[in-house]
């Protein structure tokens, strides 16, 4: 019986944490888009500094129109443990409340809050997040296909 050579071993998936204030719109969209594009090659978390009660219904509707469900998503509290477990931490409006740990990559995406916005505005916000997610995944070495409308 031979051992697997070290260079043939697969490395663990990178862990990406998306954080915003309510974990109901932006971070949920980023999480679900990342999961959709990465197809299991990235572990994705999302949380909020002041979690809301439910996913923003307009964000859920825009993602559903793209074939991406949000039914299993529940707003979660941003904790030090979640940040400590992440390789990449992407903040969207809660950067000042996000704990900082050495060795993590931090990105701050200036993305509009979809709360109380029209469908047209939410579609634009999700498009913005979509492009940023694909760019992040490309930087992580994950091939992200172009979205087909």
Instruction: Give tens-digit pLDDT for 54-100.
Output: 999 999 999 999 999 999 999 999 999 999 999 999 999 766 666 67
Quick check: 88 and 17 in contact, CB under 8 A? yes
Q: What is the per-residue pLDDT across 81-91, written as a single tens digit (0 to 9) for each?
A: 999 999 999 99
**Cα–Cα nearest to 79, from 102, 45, 40:** 45
The answer to whether residue 130 scores a pLDDT higher than 70 is: yes
Fold held by 14-136: Rossmann fold (3.40.50)
| CB neighbourhood size of 72 (10 A) | 7
């Amino acid at each position: 019986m031979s051992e697997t050579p070290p260079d043939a071993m697969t490395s663990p998936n990178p862990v990406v944490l998306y954080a915003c204030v309510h974990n109901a719109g932006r971070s949920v969209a980023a999480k679900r888009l990342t999961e959709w594009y990465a197809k299991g090659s990235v572990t994705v978390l999302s949380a909020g500094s002041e979690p809301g009660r439910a996913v923003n219904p307009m964000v859920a509707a825009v993602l559903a129109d793209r074939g991406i469900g949000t039914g299993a998503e529940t707003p979660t509290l941003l904790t030090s443990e979640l940040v400590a477990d992440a390789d990449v931490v992407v903040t969207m409006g809660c950067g000042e409340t996000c704990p900082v740990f050495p060795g993590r990559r931090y990105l701050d995406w200036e993305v509009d809050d979809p709360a109380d916005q029209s469908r047209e505005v939410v579609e634009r916000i999700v498009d913005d997040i979509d492009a940023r997610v694909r760019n992040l995944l490309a930087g992580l070495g994950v091939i992200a296909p172009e979205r087909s409308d």
